[in-house]
Amino acid sequence: MSGKDSRVQERFRNEDDNPCVFVHCYAHRLNLVLTVSATEVDLGKEFFDMVRKMLSFIKNAIIHQFVN
């Protein structure tokens, strides 16, 4: 538990004889992997760039449909 506001991890670490070890949760680990993949791996960059462009295209098409 890392919590930027309540600092739960820090409270546990400050306890005497604390056997707890900080480990990122699986959702955070997955987020870290996807972030690195999207920014460092060429195929990941291309994939997420294509997804971003497709979403932008669809969003603009929907907006233009209701505006015109």
Q: Are 52 and 60 in contact (CB under 8 A)?
A: no
Nearest by Cα to 38 from 51, 26, 28? 51
Nearest of 56, 51, 57, 54 to residue 34 by alpha carbon? 51
Kindly tell me if the per-residue pLDDT of 55 is higher than 90: yes
Query: Which of 35-39, 40-44, 55-59, 64-68 has the largest mean confidence?
Result: 55-59
Does the CA dihedral 14-19-24-26 come out positive or negative? negative
Torsion over CA: 35, 41, 43, 49 (sign): positive
Which pLDDT tens digit goes with each residue over 21-53?
Answer: 767 788 888 888 888 887 888 888 898 899 999
Instruction: State pTM to two decimals.
Output: 0.47
